[in-house]
Chains A and B, each alone.
Chain A
Amino acid sequence: MTEGVPGSAAGALSVPGTRSRRRALWGLLLGVALAFAILFSPIIGSVAFDPWLVLRIVFSGGGALFAPCTAGTVSCHIAKVIVWQERVPEVLLAVIAGAALGISGGTLQGIFRNPLADPYLLGISTGGTLGASLVFVYGIGETDANLVLPLFAFLGCTATGGVILLAARGRYGSVETLLLTGVALNALLSSILTIVLLYNPIASLQVDFWLLGGLGSATWQVDGVAFGVILAVGAILAIHGRELNLMQLGNDVAQSAGVDVRRVRERLLLLTALATGTAVAFTGIIGFVGLAAPHVVRRLSSSNYRTVLPGAAIAGAALLLCARDVALWWLPLTPLPIGIFTSAGGAPFFLYLLYRRRRATTMGGL
């Protein structure tokens, strides 16, 4: 059950010769590495199990395909529950959320022609935080927090995205208008958030922790919902590489070449709001993945958005999964927020990529 972003590894590439082969090779390598990472990641966790046992549980589909526990011991059954009901969903959620953040970041960098754009650029995350904080402050649906919190966060994100799109609509609607609308709305939401939390110190702590992001909410149910949304949204995003390629040459050029820039932009923004909202809903606000994943693809492979978009999904998934594994491997008993590890681990790698091939060629020099 790997992340389903279509056309990722061996997508149709235009120039015959070494370039496309290298690109396909990188795609294949990344895909295989990710598949292996997904299979082996459940070995890592708070409790140490025999790696073979874990692999047997994973390959048996939690016991659905064949019995992993030959002796039928108690410890084996505990392992089965922990691995299949906790770790595997957690791993898959990391992959799904990472892919969502990666492809959203790539899309937004393309729309805004800005290498510093990330999924939270327009302040969507502030809306999500406000939604989540309402749950903490007013204790809405405490009995069923597993569903209510994500729902409120998701609604906060998508509502913010929708408002920005509607507000920036108009005859002269440009990316600058969009950005500034986002900045203004972000400021407004931040001030509301501050007021709400100022009088609720306990909720404030909960929000702070939630903000750092985590995979704790993962269940098969959560994964199913997230996977469904991200697969659909990601698939539509991933086929917009050609439009984004042309939009890099300027909106006028894109328009003259046949891209309905305004419509494509609105469609893509809405889709990234959905993808980001879904990721935020279940994992909180995990930084850096959405910013770095597209650049990893550009550095390793190509700046062509037909490669960048699916590639960023794979790279984002790999990045978040690595962060999860490192976090649990290093400090198995103190589950630190995963956001700390994406930044702490991703930043040096990102810098390495930047300086390894320092040419003023990609994305305006970045």
Chain B
Amino acid sequence: MSTPDRVAPAVSVEHLTVRFDTRVALHDVSLEVRPGEFVALAGPNGSGKTSLLRVLLGFLPPDEGSASLFGTPVSDLSVRERARRVAWVPQEELVRDDIPIFEYVLYGRYSRLEPFGGESDEDRDIAMQVLTDVGLADRAEDGILSISGGERQRATLARALAQDSPILLLDEPTSHLDIGHQLDLLDRVRRLSHSRNVTVIAAMHDLNLAARYADRIFVLSRGRAYVDGPPTAVLSEDLLGRVWGVAADLRKDPRSGTPYLVPHHLIGQPRPSGIPPEWGPVHVVGGGGAASRYLRALTDQGFRLTTGALHLLDSDTEAAEALGIPAAVEVPFAPLGDEVRAAHRRLLAAARAIVVTPFLVGPSNVANLEDLAPFVRTTPTFLLTRPPGVAWDFTGGRATDLEGQLRREGGRTVPGLELLLGALGSVLETAPNRGSDSASTAAG
């Protein structure tokens, strides 16, 4: 399998297909892992991560294709030989007897013992060493049930490490741990993987943790290999959308430079209280972060939205971008320019209802209220109540006057999100359809 000038891959999976009766768990999956690499297996529930691990452990026979460890097919290895090549850390180990942690870790030496021999001093030294590596040396004589869940998972890691196998498989090892213990465990796994040249394949739910610790992310989707590469190349908004069906923003951790995804909401879920598309668009006026909450909530309810006029770098602008909402946008800190104001007026004209969020008004965005005035008479307009005691008018009274005028000319005051949803529903159901799709073009 391996050419003389190349080291055999630690794990080599070729065109692997596994079926459970008629359901295909894995379909034509190929994966090669070099010795010492840390590969994260990612994918939604049911994508085949665990099945792939179980094939490598020899628990599941491949229906087609092959899986090899250091060049030898898994199925050709005896249980003991397999254990000498692969160790396993499950999600959570069922420990029922309160045995001392040291004894528990020593169990891991099983595959290294002579058929009728006992544990030697060397086995004990190795057990003590791995306990030190996972930071439990001082608890060696304590009962396994007397330690916390995080420590127990570390003990399980030690038990697997005591096996001294060059490959370590982890099946969502941190899913029962709090965030601190998640980082701690994965830190240790990565350090040990580097210091002992152990190949690590870990099924991981959390893509951000995967990106932070793994050298490579292998994404499975419905039993097929979806994408494979270093975290920077794999993580994308598109990935989360297509594989997990979740809309997300891609960011970069300013400290480490690793990418991470901020999930927002599910995409494409049919809504039971589905709002017909002809009910839109609803225009949301905001700025300074006041609109984000309403943009998300209205999108969640199924409303088609537009928004404006906003400034770049504003969190409302980012929210609109993430949610795919057309917006009229000005450069940061400048007063709204004529072009942007024109675009904003087009959005207002296309809207079937207008929502004015309690945004802070200053010289740079007071034009939003000015531009609204002509539309109040023709379009149902809802002004959300401003929180009492919070200064919002930084235009020397001009904004207060404008809002008062909007109210006098037909703008309705609504005190909160729920009433807003109700009011929008009843208005849109009866209001005549403007039937214009100019919203998207206006945003340009």
Contacts and interface: CB of A to CB of B under 8 A. Distances in A.
B103 A361 contact: no
B141 A250 contact: no
A297 to B, nearest CB: 12
Interface stretch (B40-48, B75-83, B407-415): B75-83
Interface stretch (B94-102, B197-205, B395-403, B423-431): B94-102
Contacts of B140: 15
A252 B116 CA distance: 23
Contacts, number: 94
Residue from the set A15, A242, A260 with the largest chain B CB neighbour count within 10 Å: A15
B141 A19 contact: yes
B111 interface: yes
Contact of B110 (A246, A302, A362): A246
Contacts of A302: 99
B100 A19 contact: yes
A253 B156 CA distance: 10
B96 A255 contact: no
A250 B106 contact: no
Given A12-B118, A15-B140, A253-B90, A258 B82 contact: yes
Interface in B100-147: 100, 102-103, 106-108, 110-111, 113, 116, 118-119, 124, 140-141, 143, 145
B99 A259 contact: no
A252 B79 CA distance: 11
A248 B144 CA distance: 13
B296 interface: no
Contacts of B418: none
A339 to B, nearest CB: 29
Interface residues of A, number: 31
Contacts of B86: 256
B97 A363 contact: yes
A257 B116 contact: no
B88 interface: yes
B108 A257 contact: yes
A17 interface: yes
A250 B107 CA distance: 13
B110 A256 contact: no
B141 A304 contact: no
Given A250-B93, A250-B94, A260-B79, A14 B57 contact: no
Given A249-B94, A361-B97, A361-B143, A14 B82 contact: no
B108 A304 contact: no
B292 interface: no
Q: Mostly helix, strand, loop or mixed at chain A's interface? A: loop
A359 B97 CA distance: 11
A271 to B, nearest CB: 17
A72 interface: no
A359 B145 CA distance: 11
A364 B159 CA distance: 21
Given A252-B88, A363-B96, A258 B83 contact: yes
B244 interface: no
Contacts of B59: 252, 255
B67 to A, nearest CB: 15
Interface residues of B, number: 39
A277 B85 CA distance: 40
Nearest to B54: A252
A303 interface: yes
A326 interface: no
A298 B118 CA distance: 21
Nearest to A250: B94
A245 interface: yes
B87 interface: yes
A17 B97 contact: no
Contacts of A298: 97
A250 B98 CA distance: 15
A365 B79 CA distance: 32
Contacts of A15: 100, 102-103, 140-141
Given A15-B140, A259-B110, A364 B83 contact: no
Contacts of A243: 110
Interface in B36-93: 57-59, 78-80, 82-84, 86-88, 90, 93
A347 B163 CA distance: 42
Contacts of B145: 361
A257 B83 contact: yes
Contacts of B106: 14
Interface string A230-256: 000000000100110110111011011
B124 A14 contact: yes
Contacts of B84: 258
A49 B333 CA distance: 112
B282 to A, nearest CB: 53
23 contacts: A14-B106, A15-B100, A15-B102, A15-B140, A19-B100, A113-B96, A246-B110, A249-B94, A249-B95, A252-B88, A255-B58, A256-B86, A257-B107, A257-B108, A258-B79, A258-B80, A258-B83, A259-B79, A260-B78, A260-B79, A304-B97, A304-B103, A362-B96
Interface of A: 12, 14-15, 17, 19, 113, 239, 242-243, 245-246, 248-250, 252-253, 255-260, 298, 302-304, 359, 361-364
Given A248-B94, A258-B111, A260-B79, 11 more contacts: A19-B100, A19-B141, A249-B93, A249-B107, A257-B83, A257-B87, A257-B107, A258-B80, A258-B83, A260-B80, A302-B99
Interface of B: 57-59, 78-80, 82-84, 86-88, 90, 93-100, 102-103, 106-108, 110-111, 113, 116, 118-119, 124, 140-141, 143, 145, 159, 163
